[in-house]
Structure 1
Amino acid sequence: MPLFDVYPLYNVTPVSGKDMYVYDEKGVEYLDLYGGHAVISIGHSHPKYVKAITNQVSKLGFYSNAIQNPLQVELADKIEKLSGCKGYELFFCNSGAEANENALKLASFKTGKARVIAFNNSFHGRTSAAVAATDNKNIVAPINAQQQVTFLALNDIEGVKREVEKGDVCAVIVEFIQGVGGLDQGTAAFFEQVDALCKANNTYFIADEVQSGYGRSGKFFAFQYYNVTPEVISIAKGMGNGFPIGGILIHPNIEAKHGMLGTTFGGNHLACAAGLAVLNTIEEEKLIDNVNVISEYFISIAKTIPQIKTIKGKGLMIGLEFDFEIGDLRKKLIYEHHIFTGGASNKKLIRILPPLTIKKVHVNQFFEALKKTLVPIEVEK
């Protein structure tokens, strides 16, 4: 049976990985500066991670949410401790799309309203409400388009005010650093005014931290750079280091009701073991401190390269923007220098989303390869 052909594939077949590197079936080593869409947070095959999920699956891999699962409580307590989000409650699911779907559903349940405000170039997932709030008409089917979503420009505070004050908006959903959209950010004043408008108009402010969360921005959550208090925070990608797990943090003012949200696989024993291994490693290895050290070093070098016109993002969620489309550049980095990087809807921007364990030597390896690759491109121009 052939695979349904929805992914354009690079001709690389990874079969194993260790920390910052993956290896193909021929033993060729690739430096991973993309982490499989920012998923690999503590490095490939981290020994503590491997041990934790191996031990758990040897005992019990799964049972439903109809029984007690102390691992869920332990993981929730660990997230509260490391994130500083005191008093929030946690609902587990399996992915970022599912996290945002439940965040939007919860907002609609609790406010009794249906319309959503999202922002230009946003990406929130591929499930029904989440994809409707994603600014990409190519992936929104007619059944999704029935959702009521208004798209505005980042920093358009007058637009947000006008729409929210109409009284029918259940949620404003925002990436504090846009991912697929190209690493753009709103201003502090914008985010803080949006938060105030939401509070004044019975509207939920949803922080989509699926890609920017878990230390990637240099803080545990990217919204923590601002004076805002989201009603709901969605998390996923870096949460399980490759094991599917997601969730939403829910403000303590929001009351739960049996049956309101549900999931079969969310928060299963194996997922929680993976999640705990990730957080324990982030804490023990001081990986958020490392994010900030390496980010400063990376950006200092990027500023010396004249072909890089703009540096976007925070922490280890970095965008390098050129004045030409970078598809061929990324292919050269993969096939000639064996380095994985990411693209974006902005075709002139490379996304850098490495494991949080990255060291300066890896940064040097990247920039040495980038400089060699840029020389022939300059000649062609």
Structure 2
Amino acid sequence: MKPFNVYTLYPTEPVRGRGNFVYDAAGTEYLDLYGGHAVISLGHADETYVDRIAKQVARLGFYSNSVENSLQCELAERLGRASGYDDYALFLCNSGAEANENAMKLASFHTGRSHILAFTGAFHGRTSGAVAATDNVALRAPFNATDHVEFAPLGDLQRVEELLATGRFAAVIIEGIQGVAGIRVPSDDFLRGLREATRRHGVQLILDEIQSGYGRTGQFFAHQKAGIRPDLITVAKGMGNGFPIGGVLIAPHFEARPGMLGTTFGGNHLACAAALAVLEVMERDRLMENAAATGSYLLDRLSRIEGVHDVRGRGLMLGFDVEGSGADFRRRLLFEKHIFTGGAGKSTVRLLPALTLTRELADRFLTSLGELLRA
């Protein structure tokens, strides 16, 4: 048997990591500015994180959700305090796609309606409901086809109003910042208008903060810059620093009923231990503040480099375009400069490093970037 090869793979294999670096079997050091797709929030092999998981697995690695789990309560309380949503409830699952599926399901239960409104460029996951709300037909098998999801242009509030006025929508789902689309930031005014329109039409607003949340933009959630409070917030990726975990933050007006949602592995003891370690280190080391400061520094310096175009994003969720193929340029960064980055579209480079990135390491990247662009 062999792997079902659905990925385009770089011919390199990280076998260990430390902080903002990963290393291959030959000991080659790579600066990691991709974070495994915005997953590594604390850096690799953080001591507090490793210690907490090791101690938990030595006590109890898993039991089902048929019994009490005080770690879930501790995580909900701590996440509520850290995010400013202490009056919300938390449902734990295993991934971002699963979080979005459950959020849309909750909205449909609550409103009795069947339709979801998403936006051009959206990416919400690869499971059936999540991929239906993703603006990429190449990811959607015939089995996933549905008339229950419609798309509006990102930023077009008038079109949103027209669609919501039909009365058939249970929810609007939007990313705090679109990641897969190439770091596309909805304006604060658009988010405020969206919040007002959904409230007026009795539609639930879902903020997908799976990539843009957990301190990455310098605030706990990207949407908080606009001063709005959604009805449902989905999280994953940086929540576990590599351990699979996801969740839905649920506003107080939702009523929980036994059996309406469920999961075998969601909120298991190891996942909760990992997520608690993430929150502890984020608070102790002021990682949100670091993401804001280092991200602002990168944003400013990138905009001054000849050959770098359309610099955008916030905090440590940044994108920019280069001339020609972005994939070829990212490959050169990896194999000539030993720097991992991400991509989106034909010419975009995405930066999604751990929130521990320092100005010194940012300068190392900027120097390498300038050298490649001048070569």
- Same fold, judged at TM 0.5 (above): yes
Q: SS state of the match for residue 357, structure 1?
A: coil
Task: State yes or no: 1:109 paired with 2:109.
Answer: yes
Task: State yes or no: 1:349 paired with 2:348.
Answer: yes
Offset of residue 304 of structure 1:
1.3
**Residue identity in the other structure for 2:224:** Q
Q: Distance in 2 between matches of 1:22 and 1:172?
A: 38
Q: Which residue of 1 aligns with 2:316?
A: 316
Q: Which deviates more, 314-323 or 4-13?
A: 314-323
What aligned pairs does 1:256-275 form with structure 2 within 5 A after superposition?
256-275=256-275
Q: For the Cα contact (< 8 Å) 2:79–2:86, is it kept in 1?
A: no
Query: What are the Cα deviations for residues 321-359 of structure 1, in whole angstroms up to 9, with x where unaligned?
Result: 224321111001111111000001x22110000000000
Offset of residue 317 of structure 1:
0.3
Q: Distance in 1 between matches of 2:365 and 2:317?
A: 15
What aligned pairs does 1:249-260 form with structure 2 within 5 A after superposition?
249-260=249-260
TM-score normalised by length of structure 1:
0.97
**Residue identity in the other structure for 2:83:** S
**Residue identity in the other structure for 1:347:** K
Offset of residue 318 of structure 1:
0.3
Task: State yes or no: 1:60 paired with 2:60.
Answer: yes
Identity across aligned pairs (percent)?
A: 50
Q: For the Cα contact (< 8 Å) 1:100–1:234, is it kept in 2?
A: yes
Q: Distance in 2 between matches of 1:221 and 1:85?
A: 11
Q: Distance in 2 between matches of 1:240 and 1:203?
A: 30
Q: Distance in 2 between matches of 1:155 and 1:97?
A: 23
Q: Distance in 1 between matches of 2:164 and 2:229?
A: 17
Q: Distance in 2 between matches of 1:323 and 1:26?
A: 33
Q: SS state of the match for residue 145, structure 2?
A: coil
Q: Which residue of 2 aligns with 1:363?
A: 362
Q: SS state of the match for residue 313, structure 1?
A: strand
**Residue identity in the other structure for 1:25:** A
Q: Which residue of 2 aligns with 1:291?
A: 291
Structure 1's unaligned 5+ residue stretches are 377-381
TM-score normalised by length of structure 2:
0.99
Q: SS state of the match for residue 238, structure 2?
A: helix
Q: SS state of the match for residue 342, structure 2?
A: coil
Q: For the Cα contact (< 8 Å) 2:239–2:275, is it kept in 1?
A: yes
Q: Which residue of 2 aligns with 1:229?
A: 229
Q: Distance in 1 between matches of 2:33 and 2:147?
A: 36
Q: Distance in 2 between matches of 1:374 and 1:306?
A: 8
Q: SS state of the match for residue 97, structure 1?
A: helix
**Residue identity in the other structure for 1:208:** D
**Residue identity in the other structure for 2:351:** I
Query: What are the Cα deviations for residues 116-167 of structure 1, in whole angstroms up to 9, with x where unaligned?
Result: 1111111000011110000011001111112511111111111000000100
Q: SS state of the match for residue 205, structure 2?
A: strand
Q: Which residue of 2 aligns with 1:379?
A: none
Offset of residue 248 of structure 1:
0.2
Q: Distance in 2 between matches of 1:337 and 1:238?
A: 26
Q: Which residue of 2 aligns with 1:78?
A: 78
Q: Which deviates more, 225-234 or 322-331?
A: 322-331
Q: Which residue of 1 aligns with 2:207?
A: 207
Q: Distance in 2 between matches of 1:91 and 1:74?
A: 13
**Residue identity in the other structure for 1:283:** E
Q: Distance in 2 between matches of 1:66 and 1:58?
A: 21
Q: Which residue of 2 aligns with 1:94?
A: 94
Which of structure 1's runs of 4+ aligned residues deviate more than 6 A? none
Q: For the Cα contact (< 8 Å) 1:90–1:250, is it kept in 2?
A: yes
Structure 2's unaligned 5+ residue stretches are none
Q: For the Cα contact (< 8 Å) 1:37–1:342, is it kept in 2?
A: yes
**Residue identity in the other structure for 1:366:** F
Q: SS state of the match for residue 185, structure 1?
A: coil
